[in-house]
A and B are shown apart, each in its own frame.
Chain A
Amino acid sequence: DAGVIQSPRHEVTEMGQEVTLRCKPISGHNSLFWYRQTMMRGLELLIYFNNNVPIDDSGMPEDRFSAKMPNASFSTLKIQPSEPRDSAVYFCASSQQGLSGNTIYFGEGSWLTVV
């Protein structure tokens, strides 16, 4: 299996621009998570989906952030407009709920720098 696939791996963008991060979960997994990692705040759960439905988006920092999961094999996290404080590593992860005690599998991350 190819694992969780994220793109882009690295992005540098100017403040005010729209950023779209993409994720392909592991085939057969029915839960998908978006995390953000920074030195100051550590690893924060932004939102998670179960069977393509958003279950908990309480971690989404503000209305500039939105996430979608149009089908079981694809999700996006969008930031519009982006700000320098959004600079972080954004991880997508997936799991098969009910198996392996909810162990989750991470992608390699999207490294975002907003200047």
Chain B
Amino acid sequence: SQQGEEDPQALSIQEGENATMNCSYKTSINNLQWYRQNSGRGLVHLILIRSNEREKHSGRLRVTLDTSKKSSSLLITASRAADTASYFCATDALNAGGTSYGKLTFGQGTILTVHP
């Protein structure tokens, strides 16, 4: 089963609107990351939030993390047509000993379409 599951699966908005994507996960984590994938390309890292952080900003991106609910959200403000892509959350899970497995597990992604 997927460690990270995003919703919605697809989101269609107009340029200038905000886009919010959510991610839920199942285990304790070291950190959670968001990646972007343009069609036909590899994934590109956007932002990382550590388990002891609640909110983080980077440009038009805002990420929140609620470890009690095992969920995260990615907000893209003032969206642009160029933001059209798939967005994935990925978790760096902790093992029973409390250390990182050293690998990322990705969710199924949210397909974002921003109409000009």
Name A residues whose Cβ lies closer than 8 Å to a Cβ of B. Answer: 4, 31, 33, 35, 42-43, 45, 48, 50, 55-56, 91, 93, 97, 100-109
Knowing A42-B108, A108-B41, say if A101 contacts B31 (CB, 8 Å): yes
Which of the listed residues A48, A56, A102, A109 has the most CB atoms from chain B within 10 Å of its own CB? A102
Q: Which of chain A's residues have a CB closer than 8 A to the CB of B2?
A: 42
B interface vs A, CB < 8 Å? Answer: 2, 30-31, 33, 41-45, 48, 50, 88, 92, 100-109
| B residues less than 8 Å from A56 (CB atoms) | 101, 103
A91/B43 in contact, CB under 8 A: yes
Chain A at the B interface: mostly helix, strand, loop or mixed?
A: strand
A42 & B107 in contact (Cβ 8 Å cutoff): yes
A105 to B104, CA, bound (A): 11
In contact, A102 and B31 (Cβ under 8 angstroms)? yes
B96 to chain A, nearest CB (A): 15
Closest to B105 in A: A45
